[in-house]
Structure 1
């Protein structure tokens, strides 16, 4: 799905060769500042590499329209935006931006169930806790039905028990719907339990790439 050839970005990343497989759960691990989030941001052109090439489904990323690419590849940052308004408003805003059809309330409740958030759609999103806001943002990404989900520490605001439930639900969703999940995680436990592939990055370079 993704392949890197001699990719450099500033003094942050230097990746000679790397392949990220389609319809797999891939975890990026490594110390803070190693370049994991930067790698994720390159995949949907939030930033552009300085040299080399990244290919997406055998097409050079540099030649793909950025807006079209981001319909296919959606990223959830570590501190996602929550907009003023209700939970429903926040769930739908990504679909409205990308001019996609809007789902029914029943479908919205199904997504809330998936991300383990037991709230009413009309509740004020800004009054939610940090972990609850993170789950609303995760629901927003899932509703956009991208081919690739890029998640940067998706459970960083959650306790360990909730983290396990959310990651498990996400992984099941990915596999049941033939999606691709690429996730930065601080937890080697999460990576070893849930991923098909683990990519370890140190000082901007891939030092280990293994199937689980």
Structure 2
């Protein structure tokens, strides 16, 4: 799915080689400042390497249309993006961006229930709490049915119980559809519980070194 060769970005990333196959949940694990979020943004085409090559499906990311890439490789950042408008508007925003058919109110309400977000579709999304906005953003990217999900601390604003519910639902659906997830977390527990493969940043930033769970 993704291939890295001799990647350098400022004084943050220096990776000789790394390959991430499709259909798995990967976790980037490391200390703050180790380049986890930077690497996600490179996979999404938001940042361009100073040196080296990054390929997605054998194609150089720098040669791909960034808008088309982001329809297939969807990113959910640490700070959830919430647009002005209703909960419904926010859930549909990703589908509208990617040009996909919109889903029904019933499907959206069902998704909110799975994410433990007991809100009406007509409610003002900007008035939701931080944790509620994070779950709303989670729902939006899930509806996009992307090939790859890049998740940067996707449950950081959730309590432990809600985090478990959301991650259980998310990973169950991802695996059922054979999608790929690359997730950043500071939580060893999250990484061990949900990932097929943990990538330790302190290993890949020196030479080749990936730990398999």
TM-score greater than 0.5 by the shorter chain: yes
CA distance in 1: counterparts of 2:206 and 2:173, whole angstroms: 28
Equivalent residues, number: 212
Partner of 2:61: 61
Q: How many angstroms does 1:196 deviate by?
A: 0.2
Unaligned runs of 5+ in 1: none
Q: Could you report, residue by residue, the CA deviation over 1:46-105 in whole angstroms, capped at 9, with x for unpaired residues?
A: 111111101111112122111111110000110021112211011111222333221111
Partner of 2:94: 94
**Counterpart mapping for 1:43-122 below 5 A:** 43-122=43-122
Q: Secondary structure at the match of 1:78?
A: coil
Q: How many angstroms does 1:113 deviate by?
A: 2.6
Q: How many angstroms does 1:204 deviate by?
A: 7.9
Q: Give the TM-score normalised by structure 2.
A: 0.94
Q: Secondary structure at the match of 1:202?
A: helix
Partner of 2:4: 4
CA distance in 1: counterparts of 2:180 and 2:113, whole angstroms: 21
Partner of 1:175: 175
The reply on whether 1:211 has 2:212 as its aligned counterpart is yes
Partner of 1:14: 14
CA distance in 2: counterparts of 1:58 and 1:93, whole angstroms: 29
Q: Secondary structure at the match of 1:68?
A: helix
Superposition CA RMSD, Å: 1.5
Q: Secondary structure at the match of 2:154?
A: coil
Contact 2:203 2:210 in 1 (8 A): no
Q: How many angstroms does 1:43 deviate by?
A: 0.4
Q: Could you report, residue by residue, the CA deviation over 1:143-171 in whole angstroms, capped at 9, with x for unpaired residues?
A: 11100000000000011111121111111
Contact 1:199 1:206 in 2 (8 A): no
> Which stretch shifts more, 200-209 or 170-179?
200-209
The reply on whether 1:138 has 2:134 as its aligned counterpart is no
Q: Give the TM-score normalised by structure 1.
A: 0.95
